[in-house]
């Protein structure tokens, strides 16, 4: 789907504030793609679609996720986690996205996972550091993303874990695996 049409279709599904967030994630993801050698069109498409299911009713997200078999058992966790996997189904079935890397970037953008691709890391990080994010520590995450994708992944993941534990939220296994796996990445060459 051509970029303008994709934007219109996404805008139609989201409240305007959320759509503005999506556009900022897109800008940020394209900067990271440039910086770390990822295809910019893939980053644009994945970013535009990452929150495509965010405004859907819980019941609908649950229905879509159940129909796919819910292999990661996201339904056992807070409903905030449901829009990633459901969004990937919408991207595939309603936007005709076939690229498995783009679909994974949408699917895992909230939890992350072990063994993320470069595109998955870019979307996960861009979602946290887009210019509208103003939580304490956001500046540090942006600074990490200036130099290394893997260092930024560890920093973003650690920030999420700390936040989740501070509000006593249950942590999904993929959220934890993302963090552990990012530590081992940091031992090798930068920006792999």
Contact positions vs ligand DGI (CB under 6 A): 51, 54, 77-78, 80-81, 109-111, 127, 160, 164, 169-172, 175
Q: How many helices (H) and strands (E) does the chain have?
A: 10, 0
Q: How many of the other CB atoms lie within 10 Å of CB of 171? A: 14
Determine the interface stretch with Fe ion among 63-71, 126-134, 152-160, 184-192 (rule: CB under 5 A).
126-134
Q: Which does 160 bind (CB under 5 to 8 A by kind): Fe ion, ligand DGI, none?
A: ligand DGI
Q: Which does 179 bind (CB under 5 to 8 A by kind): Fe ion, ligand DGI, none?
A: none
d(CA 122, CA 180): 18
Q: Are 129 and 142 in contact (CB under 8 A)?
A: yes
Determine the interface stretch with Fe ion among 37-45, 62-70, 120-128, 133-141 (rule: CB under 5 A).
120-128
How many residues bind Fe ion (CB under 5 A)? The answer is: 2
Q: Is 100 helix (H, G, I), strand (E, B) or coil?
A: helix
**Near Fe ion by CB under 5 A: residue from 38, 44, 120, 127:** 127
d(CA 85, CA 23): 20
**Shortest Cβ distance from residue 78 to ligand DGI (Å)?**
4
Q: Which of residues 35-74 bind Fe ion (CB under 5 A)?
A: 51
Closest CB to Fe ion among residues 48, 149: 48
Q: Is 187 helix (H, G, I), strand (E, B) or coil?
A: coil
**Gyration radius from the chain CA atoms:** 16
The residues that touch Fe ion, with contacts defined as CB under 5 A, are 51, 127
């Amino acid at each position: 789907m051509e970029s303008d049409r994709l934007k219109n279709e996404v805008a139609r599904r989201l409240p305007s504030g959320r759509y503005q967030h999506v556009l900022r994630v897109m800008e940020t993801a394209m900067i990271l793609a440039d910086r770390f050698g990822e295809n910019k069109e893939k980053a644009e498409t994945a970013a535009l679609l990452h929150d495509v299911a965010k405004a859907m009713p819980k019941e609908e997200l649950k229905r879509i996720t159940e129909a796919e078999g819910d292999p990661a058992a996201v339904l056992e966790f807070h409903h905030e986690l449901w829009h990633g996997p459901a969004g990937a189904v919408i991207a595939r079935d309603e936007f005709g996205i076939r690229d498995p890397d783009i679909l994974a970037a949408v699917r895992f953008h909230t939890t992350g996972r072990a063994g993320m691709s470069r595109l998955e890391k870019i979307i996960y990080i861009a979602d946290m550091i887009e210019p509208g994010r103003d939580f304490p520590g956001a500046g540090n995450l942006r600074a990490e993303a200036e130099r290394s994708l893997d260092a930024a992944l560890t920093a973003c993941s650690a920030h999420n874990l700390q936040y989740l534990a501070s509000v006593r939220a249950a942590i999904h296994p993929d959220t934890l695996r993302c963090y552990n796996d990012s530590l081992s990445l940091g031992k090798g060459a930068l920006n792999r």
